[in-house]
């Protein structure tokens, strides 16, 4: 059980909870009033009666600038800072309004009611867009909108779930089978790919695009009669609750992370805080808000997360891997690739696969990086295939300004392809050569920030060098091709061609020449070499052959000479930078700094600080 709980007494009951997207405020709805609290101090910022009939919904807009509320006979739009706003009568609704939700565009909200309609409202005029009315098959008890702004899902009556297009305002499909009868409060996953509903063991799940039931496995379900369901904003965790128990699951592997007893009377309300570190609960009877610290439940690192594939869905082919990862939140882009635009030959090749320049069907240029994996018939082959899937999953979850985002996966010419943006500025060395005025200290700091993020997420890059740092159209360096060395553990053993692992000798730590695998420490060694490359505009050891580099590193235990032209001895920050690089290249991996320490030191190294300064030779100690 989680023991990290904070109970906070308030002077009202809790019917609705809505944390602001920026995490600074918590909006609470009671019978008729809106109360907004400071999320840090827990102090009330405003309290205002906003409806004359019972409230039925309360939600923040995606940008946090507005609050929308619904009551039995009206909707309201409010400024969460001042409390100013207004209500509108039920418009075209001829019976009670039961729910409200914002669309991706914060200028529009939808409401559902007992009159079997879903209606659209303009948040500026608080008037209904009557031409957008959707007629449902039964009374609407709940609506949810997808984060991509394309769909609306509604629970209608006892036995029907209806999905509508938020673009055409037409019905997309209806779920009316026995499974739908069990479903309560359907909601979209944050990535809009899946629809989750209460019921089943413990969830009912549908693929929102393919319209099919998805059999995801969740362990530890106790058969509770849950009334609330909520996602963390990153989509990795989901919680359900009743007045007896709250349970938190990891969506990626189906494991029960934690559970605790709310001890709150009445109908439970449950939401994740905006940063996902806490669950907030309240009820319609007692006057207590509880804040549950779920940091421990969410402490797993991306690179260490294990996906438990449902045994009822066999992983027999590479296509099965893509399909299974899609159900875990990875985008399957197979149908979005405009294959005829892809070149016959790759633009580059490596030990793990090839890189092709392609276009999507919408005309966007992308890079498709194939992974050479061979699926044999043995159980060991299948095991290694799942290990490779773990690596692909880890990369797909990395989100940082200095890490190249993975757009999705695709089946491409018989192999798994990783789809990423095509960076027109090319690699860091190419960019520096074309843009000689770029601040190389800032470039180095951003690279260190990217690696620090990967390491904090449990991900080893494995092949850090200038060529694997791509520069966005805005001039931002992004670490790319991370994890290739780890994946080669599987491509080496399970490809028909038995490709050898290739070591980037000029950036490689000594232990890699001696049979060791890539590690956080070897990444830091390579980071030092990559910073040197950025500062000098040349590869490490520019005057030595590959063989001579290996000899210098493994036999002579040496590292590159200090480039006085770029890191002058007589400069304010020259020694600071050079000592940092030397520590990155320490022969003992355990003595090297970690990536976060490199980032911290680099933040104090500036282009101005590396400029040579005039020195009075009388101050120089002569030997």
pLDDT over threshold 80, residue 497: no
- 329 conformational bin, left if phi > 0, alpha if psi -120 to 50, beta if neither: left
**Region class of 23: left (phi > 0), else alpha (psi between -120 and 50), else beta:** left
426-483+494-623, which class in CATH?
A: mainly alpha
pLDDT above 60: residue 155 = yes
- Please check the confidence at residue 35 and state whether its pLDDT lies above 90: yes
Q: How do strand 354-360 and strand 365-371 relate by DSSP bridges? A: antiparallel
- Are 198 and 227 in contact, with CB atoms under 8 Å apart? yes
Which CATH number is 301-422 given?
A: 3.30.200.20
Q: What is the pLDDT of residue 96?
A: 95
User: Does position 8 have pLDDT exceeding 90, yes or no?
Assistant: no
pLDDT tens sequence across 116-133: 999 999 998 888 887 888
Looking at residue 303, what DSSP letter applies? Answer: G
The DSSP 8-state label assigned to residue 171 in this structure reads E
Task: Express each pLDDT in 181-197 by its tens digit.
Answer: 667 889 999 888 889 88
How many H helices and E strands in the chain? 11, 36
pLDDT of residue 32: 92
Residue 249 pLDDT > 80: yes
Which sign does the torsion angle of CA 289, 290, 293, 297 carry? negative
Residues forming CATH 1.10.510.10 domain(s) in the chain: 426-483+494-623
Q: Boundaries of CATH 3.30.200.20 in the chain?
A: 301-422
Q: Angle 244-30-82 (CA atoms, 0-180°, nearest 5)?
A: 130
* Average pLDDT in the chain: 83
Higher pLDDT, 96 or 211: 96
Lowest mean pLDDT among 106-110, 311-315, 528-532: 311-315
Q: Judge whether residue 583 has pLDDT over 90.
A: yes
Q: Is the pLDDT of residue 88 over 90?
A: no
Residue 120: the pLDDT is 93
Task: Answer yes or no: is pLDDT of 616 > 70.
Answer: no
The residue among 128, 166, 177 whose CA lies nearest residue 144 is 166
pLDDT of residue 29: 93
**Mean pLDDT, to the nearest integer, of 409-438?**
91
Q: Could you tell me if 205 and 189 are in contact, meaning their C-beta atoms sit under 8 angstroms apart? A: no
Among 103, 202, 108, CA closest to 153: 103
Confidence of residue 484 (pLDDT cuts 50, 70, 90): low
Instruction: Summarize the chain as % helix, strand, coil (round to 5).
Output: 25, 30, 45
Tell whether pTM > 0.75. Answer: no
- pLDDT, position 250: 80
C-alpha 439 chain-centroid distance: 29
Does the pLDDT at position 341 exceed 50?
yes
Question: Which residues 6+ apart lie within 8 Å of 177 measured at CB?
Answer: none
Task: Kindly indicate the confidence band of residue 471, based on its pLDDT and cuts at 50, 70 and 90.
Answer: very high
Please say if the pLDDT value at position 337 is more than 50.
Answer: yes
Look at residue 378 in the predicted model and tell me its pLDDT.
Answer: 56
Q: What is the 3-state secondary structure (H, E, C) of 132-147?
A: HCEECCCCEEEEEECC
Confidence band for 60, pLDDT divided at 50, 70 and 90? very high
What is the reported pLDDT for 172? 92
User: Which residues are CB-neighbours of 21 under 8 A, at least 6 positions away?
Assistant: 60, 62, 63, 64, 274
**561 - beta bridge partners?**
none
């Amino acid at each position: 059980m989680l023991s990290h709980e904070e109970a906070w007494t308030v002077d009202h009951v809790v019917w609705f909870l809505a944390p602001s997207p920026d995490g600074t405020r918590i909006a609470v709805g009671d019978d008729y009033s809106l109360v907004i609290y400071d999320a840090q101090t827990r102090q009330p910022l405003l309290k205002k009666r906003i409806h004359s009939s019972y409230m039925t919904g309360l939600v923040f807009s995606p940008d946090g600038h507005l609050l929308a509320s619904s009551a039995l006979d009206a909707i309201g739009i409010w400024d969460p800072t001042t409390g100013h706003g207004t209500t509108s009568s039920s418009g075209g609704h001829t019976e009670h309004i039961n729910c409200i939700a914002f669309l991706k565009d914060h200028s529009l909200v939808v409401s559902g009611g007992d009159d079997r309609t879903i209606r659209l409202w303009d948040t500026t005029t608080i008037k209904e867009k009557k031409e957008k009315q959707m007629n449902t098959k039964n009374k609407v008890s709940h609506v949810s909108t997808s984060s991509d702004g394309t769909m609306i899902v509604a629970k209608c009556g006892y036995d029907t779930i209806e999905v509508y297009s938020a673009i055409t305002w037409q019905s997309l499909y209806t779920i009316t089978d026995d499974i739908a009868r069990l479903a309560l409060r359907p909601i979209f996953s944050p990535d809009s790919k899946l629809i989750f509903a209460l019921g089943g063991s413990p969830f009912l799940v549908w693929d929102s695009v393919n319209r099919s039931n998805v059999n995801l496995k969740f362990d530890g379900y106790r058969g509770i009669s849950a009334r609330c369901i909520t996602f963390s904003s990153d989509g990795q965790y989901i919680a359900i609750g009743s007045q007896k128990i709250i349970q938190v699951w990891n969506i990626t592997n189906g494991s029960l992370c934690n559970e605790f007893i709310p001890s709150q009377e009445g109908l439970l309300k449950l939401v994740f805080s905006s940063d996902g570190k806490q669950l907030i609960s309240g009820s319609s009877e007692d006057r207590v808000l509880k804040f549950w610290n779920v940091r421990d439940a969410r402490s797993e690192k991306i690179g260490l997360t294990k996906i438990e594939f449902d045994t009822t869905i066999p992983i027999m082919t590479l296509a099965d891997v893509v399909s299974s990862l899609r159900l875990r939140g990875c985008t399957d882009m197979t149908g979005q690739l405009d294959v005829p635009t892809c070149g016959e030959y790759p633009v580059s090749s490596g030990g793990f696969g090839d890189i092709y320049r392609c276009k999507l069907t919408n005309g966007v240029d992308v890079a498709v990086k194939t992974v050479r994996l061979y699926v044999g018939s043995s159980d060991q082959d299948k095991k290694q295939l799942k290990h490779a899937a773990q690596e692909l999953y880890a990369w797909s979850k990395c989100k940082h300004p200095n890490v190249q985002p993975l757009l999705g996966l695709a089946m491409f010419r018989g192999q798994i392809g990783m789809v990423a943006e095509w960076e027109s500025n090319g690699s860091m060395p190419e960019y520096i050569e074309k843009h000689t005025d770029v601040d190389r200290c800032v470039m180095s700091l951003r690279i260190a920030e990217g690696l620090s993020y990967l390491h904090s997420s449990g991900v080893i890059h494995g092949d850090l060098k200038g060529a694997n740092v791509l520069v966005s159209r805005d001039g931002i360096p992004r670490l790319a091709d991370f994890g290739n060395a780890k994946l080669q553990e599987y491509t080496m053993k399970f490809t028909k061609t038995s490709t050898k692992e290739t070591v980037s000798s000029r950036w490689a730590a000594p232990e890699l020449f001696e049979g060791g695998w890539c590690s956080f420490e070897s990444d830091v060694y390579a980071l030092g070499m990559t910073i040197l490359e950025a500062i000098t505009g040349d590869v490490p050891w520019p005057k030595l052959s590959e063989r001579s580099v290996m000899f210098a590193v493994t036999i002579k235990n040496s590292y590159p000479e200090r480039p006085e032209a770029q890191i002058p001895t007589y400069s304010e920050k020259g020694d600071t930078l050079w000592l940092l690089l030397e520590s990155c290249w320490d022969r003992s991996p355990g003595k090297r700094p970690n990536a976060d320490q490199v980032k911290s030191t680099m933040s104090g190294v500036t282009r101005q600080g590396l400029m040579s300064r005039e020195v009075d030779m009388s101050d120089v100690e002569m030997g």
